[in-house]
Amino acid sequence: MTSLTTQPTTTLNNGVTMPMVGFGVFQIPDPAVCQTAVEEAIATGYRLIDTAEAYQNEEAVGCAIATSIEKGIVTRDELFITTKAFIQHISYAGIKEAFAASLEKLGLDYIDLYLLHQPVGDTFGAWRAMEELYMEGKVRAIGVSNFEDDQVANLSIFNEITPAVNQIELHVFNQKTASVDYQLSKGVQVESWGAFAEGRFDVFRNPTLVSIAEKYGKSTAQVMLRWQLQRGIVSLSKSANPERVRANFSIFDFALTDEDMAAIAELNTNTTVFADHHEAATVELLAGRVGKKF
């Protein structure tokens, strides 16, 4: 097992320390499978666990946390737990309701990082509620997900607290270099989702990634995660396969060269693997999921 002393961390804009490599549970809806996967992740050494109310597995994550603590594998203060409010709750009152529900499902006394899952709805009202939760000590840091640079700037300038984190789609085919540079310059930690491009475009067999992986005796997945780490980006990986869970954490014993990083940079096509979150049609689609129509 990788020593936890070798796991890199980042310091958020409020002084809170966050692990750079995390385990996500998107698309693991089965409670038993999710709980087992999270327990395996914690036993492997992951300390950042990422969920959301929209994933419908917060209870399973909470059970995994409780079991891991009971077994003496980890203590609560060693974990960094993230969850997110979905768009039906992105309002002042909605955030208060959603946060209380997530806290209960997770079985926790506080959340380490709480995010607005989408830039849809009353984001300003929601952010004021987030600020209150932070000031009350119920959450250690607050942030956003899927926000563009202008939306992060707008939210920051006209509120008291700048988001600590922005979790965005980011992978070798959608590298967002300018956005990453801008947000990091403003003290907003960039965190990626979709680190493996959801397996699309035959990414695991991409010749450039395969060549680099063979040089280090690593997998293409490990190369992609290491690439994110060396860019200063917090990354999330997800798998219900124990071997892959462990492999995706084994990225601290090698480093990519400048030549490797440059070769991977050439893979960028600014291609999203999902619908563009900032197109009107996507906003309408998301709103329709919670009964809102235009």
Q: Which residues are catalytic?
A: 55
Task: Supply angle C-alpha 244, 234, 151, rounded to 5.
Answer: 130
Q: Kindly report, residue by residue over 56-69, the tens digit of the pLDDT.
A: 999 999 999 999 99
Report the alpha-carbon distance of residue 34 to residue 60 in Å, rounded: 6
User: Which residues, 6+ apart, have CB-to-CB distance to 43 below 8 Å?
Assistant: 68, 73
pLDDT of 294 > 90? The answer is: no
**Region 2-13: what's the mean pLDDT?**
74
Domain presence at residue 294: no
In a domain, 7, yes or no: no
Task: Judge whether residue 238 has pLDDT over 50.
Answer: yes
Which residues does 31 contact at the CB level (< 8 Å), separation at least 6? 57, 59, 60, 63
Residue 42 domain-assigned (yes or no): yes
User: How far is residue 121's CA from residue 90's CA, in Å, rounded to a whole number?
Assistant: 6
Count of structural domains, the chain: 1
Q: What is the pLDDT of residues 94-137, one digit of tens each?
A: 999 999 999 999 999 999 999 999 999 999 999 999 999 999 99
Q: For residues 28-51, give the mean pLDDT.
A: 97
Q: Residue 11: inside a domain, yes or no? A: no
Unique residue bearing structure tokens 């700048």: 162
- 189 with 147: CB under 8 angstroms? no
Confidence of residue 290 (pLDDT cuts 50, 70, 90): confident
Three-point CA angle 197, 199, 204, nearest 5°: 105
Q: What is the mean pLDDT of the chain?
A: 94
- Tell whether 45 is covered by a domain: yes
Residue 173 is assigned to a structural domain of this protein: yes
117 annotated as a binding-site residue: yes
Q: What is the pLDDT of residue 3?
A: 40
> Does residue 292 lie within any of the structural domains?
no
69 alpha carbon, distance to own chain's centre: 22
Average pLDDT over residues 29-35: 95
Residue 43: CATH number of its domain: 3.20.20.100
Domain that holds residue 109: 18-287
Is the pLDDT at 217 greater than 90, yes or no?
yes
In this prediction, residue 1 has a pLDDT band, given cuts at 50, 70 and 90, of: very low
Chain centroid to Cα 223, Å, comes to 18
pLDDT of 278 strictly over 90: no
Please provide residue 137's backbone torsions phi and psi, each rounded to the nearest 5 degrees.
80, 15
DSSP string for residues in 85-119: E-GGG-SHHHHHHHHHHHHHHHT-S-EEEEEE-SS
Question: Span 231-249, mean pLDDT?
Answer: 95
For residue 58, give both structure tokens: 């917060």
Is residue 99 assigned to a domain?
A: yes
Distance of CA 224 to the CA centre of its chain: 15
pLDDT tens digits for range 147-163 = 999 999 999 999 999 99
